[in-house]
Structure 1
Amino acid sequence: MARPHTIYRSLSALLLLGIVAVVCVSLGNWQLDRAAQRIAIKQDIQAGRSTAPLQLSAGTPPSAFTAWRPASAQGVWRHDLTVLLENRNYQGRPGYWVATPLMLDGKADTAVLVLRGWLPRPASIEQALPAIPAPDGKQTIAGELLARVPRLFELSSATQLPSTLPDPAQGPPRVQNLDLDAYAAATGLKFMPMVLAQTADAIQENGETETGAQLLREWPEPSLDADKNKGYALQWFGFAAIAAIAWLVIAWRTVRRRGKPNSF
C-alpha cells in the first residue's frame, strides 16, 4: 500500500489541478463570450450605418431610434446648459467632450443631447479654457445616434452634475460621466432617448457653416477585435488541457501505487 502522506499529497495535487482546469475553462468561455459580444457590436454598427438617415423631430417614434444610424436635427442650441465631459483624450492629448442640448422644432422643453466635439484642456490651471463656439439661431446638425453618452470607469462620484442647471455663478459643469436621466432632471428638459454625436460642422440658418474648427469630431469606436479574444480563449483551453492531462497522470499513478504492497 502507498504511504498515507503520499496519498494526501496526490489527492491535494488532484484537487488543485481540478480547480485549475475548471478556472481555465471558465476563463476560456468568458473570452468566447467577449468575442461574441464584439461580433454583435460590429454587426449592430454595420446595420445602423446602413440604415437610411433619420431626421429627428419631437415626434420621432421610438422605433426609429437605432444606434449608429445617421441622423440630423434642426433646432437652437442651449449654450447655458453645456456640460464638459472630463478625461476624454484625443491622440494622447487630454481634453473634454462638449455636450450641449439642441432644442427641437421650436419646442420649449424637447431636446436632443449633442456631443459637439473635443476641446483641448489647458496646459495649466492658470490658463483659460478655449472658447466654445456659441452660434445663435437655428442650426442643422448631422451625426450618428448613440445609445448613451460613452462612459468611462469612475472610482468615485466626486464630479457630480449640479442638481439644477443652469447655474449663472459657475461656468459649464465638468463631469466624468453624464447620465441622460440625471441631466434631464437638472435641466427640466425632455430629451430624445438617444444621443447625437456630431460629425460635421453645423449649418446655420443662412446656409453658412459653423466656425468651430477647434472642436474635433473623430469619435472613438468600441474595440471590435474578436480574434484577440478567440486567441486568449484558445490559450486558456490549452492550459485547461495541460491541467487535465496532469490530473489523469497523477490519478493513474496513485491508483497503481495503491495496488502495490509496501516494500522495505
Structure 2
Amino acid sequence: MGTDYSTRTLAAIVLIATVLGMGITARLGMWQLSRAAQKQALQTALDERGHLAPLDDATLARTAPEAEAQHYRPVRLQGEWRPAATVFLDNRQMNGRPGFFVVTPLVLPGGDAVLVQRGWAPRDMADRTRVPSVPTPAGRVEVRGLIAPPPARLFDFAGGAPGTIRQNLDLAAFAKEVGVTLRPLSVQQLDEPADGLSRHWPAPAVDIHKHYGYAFQWFAMCALMAGLYVWFQLLRPRLRRRA
C-alpha cells in the first residue's frame, strides 16, 4: 500500500512539474512571438519614415523623445561646417572593412548644431595615427541625409580619451568641448560631395529573426518535455508490463 502511494505521489509530482514546465516554456515562446510582432511593426514604421518629406532645421528635433520619433527620416539642412571639431571614430566598419567614421558638427542658422556622420574612410595600416585629409568646404553648404541615433558606442580601452581619433563620442561632453549646442541626434550624410568618403550606410533594421529563433527554442523545449513525459510515464511502463 505504501509503495503504491509513493509511486502515485511521484507520478503526480512528475505530472505537475511537466505541466508547469510546458506552460512556462510555451508562454515564453508566445512572448518571443509577440516581441517579433512588435519589432516587425517598428520595422514597417522605419521603412515608412524613409519615404516622408525631408525635414529642415526648423522641424528638426530638439529633445530626445522628439529625436527618437524622427529617426531615419530624410533631412535637408543648411549650415556651416565646424572643421576644427572633426573627429575620426576608430574601429568602424563599412562593407566589412575597418576604418573611421568621420563626424563633423554642422552649425545651423539658429546657432546650434547637429553632428553629421559624413562617411567612412579606411585607416592607414602603416601608421595607425594618421587620418585622411577630408575636404571640408567653407561657407554655407546643404547636407542631405537620414536622421539617425548618434554613432554606436564601442568598448573603449582608453576610457574616452579626447583627440582627433576616438573610440566613442558622447554628445553632451562633445558639445561642451566644442562650445556649441548639439541636437540630440545625428545625420548620416547621403549626398556625394567630392571628399573621398564612402557612404554605404546599412539600411535601418531591427533584429526580428532572433525572436523567432528564441521562440523556436522555447517551443522545442515544451515539445521535448511533453515527449519525455509520454515516453517515460506512459509508453515505457506499458511496454515493460507487456514484456
**Where does 1:98-109 land on structure 2 (aligned, <5 Å)?**
98-105=102-109, 107=111
In structure 1, the residue matched to 2:76 is 72
**Could you report, residue by residue, the CA deviation over 1:106-150 in whole angstroms, capped at 9, with x for unpaired residues?**
62xx1011010001111233673221222212111000111x224
**Where does 1:237-256 land on structure 2 (aligned, <5 Å)?**
237-247=219-229, 250=232
In structure 2, the residue matched to 1:181 is 172
**Where does 1:1-264 land on structure 2 (aligned, <5 Å)?**
2=3, 21=22, 24-25=25-26, 28-29=29-30, 31-57=32-58, 60=60, 62=62, 66-105=70-109, 107=111, 110-125=112-127, 128-146=130-148, 148-154=149-155, 156=156, 158-162=158-162, 170=163, 172-175=164-167, 177-201=168-192, 210-212=193-195, 214-224=196-206, 226=208, 229-230=211-212, 232-247=214-229, 250=232
**Residues 199 and 182 of structure 1: is their aligned pair in 2 closer, same or farther, counting only changes over 3 Å?**
same
CA distance in structure 1 between the partners assigned to 2:170 and 2:30 by the alignment: 32
Structure 2: unaligned runs, 5 residues or longer: 239-243
Which structure's residues are more often helix, by fraction? Answer: 2
The normalised TM-score by structure 1 is 0.71
**Residues 38 and 186 of structure 1: is their aligned pair in 2 closer, same or farther, counting only changes over 3 Å?**
same
- Greater shift in the superposed pair: 78-87 or 7-16: 7-16
Q: State, as a whole percentage, how many aligned pairs show the same letter.
A: 34
CA distance in structure 2 between the partners assigned to 1:105 and 1:191 by the alignment: 13
SS at 1:183 equivalent: helix
- The answer as to whether partners of 2:61 and 2:184 remain within 8 angstroms in 1 is no
**Residues 118 and 236 of structure 1: is their aligned pair in 2 closer, same or farther, counting only changes over 3 Å?**
same
Partner letter of residue 216 of structure 1? S
CA distance in structure 2 between the partners assigned to 1:243 and 1:227 by the alignment: 25
The normalised TM-score by structure 2 is 0.76
SS at 2:56 equivalent: strand
In structure 2, the residue matched to 1:165 is none
CA distance in structure 1 between the partners assigned to 2:133 and 2:110 by the alignment: 26
Structure 1: unaligned runs, 5 residues or longer: 163-169, 202-209, 257-264
Shift of residue 83, structure 1, vs aligned partner: 1.8
**Could you report, residue by residue, the CA deviation over 1:21-51 in whole angstroms, capped at 9, with x for unpaired residues?**
4664465245325423431331221231122
Partner letter of residue 211 of structure 1? A
- The answer as to whether partners of 1:44 and 1:67 remain within 8 angstroms in 2 is no
- The answer as to whether partners of 1:161 and 1:183 remain within 8 angstroms in 2 is no
CA distance in structure 2 between the partners assigned to 1:73 and 1:161 by the alignment: 30
CA distance in structure 2 between the partners assigned to 1:228 and 1:91 by the alignment: 22
**Residues 246 and 112 of structure 1: is their aligned pair in 2 closer, same or farther, counting only changes over 3 Å?**
same
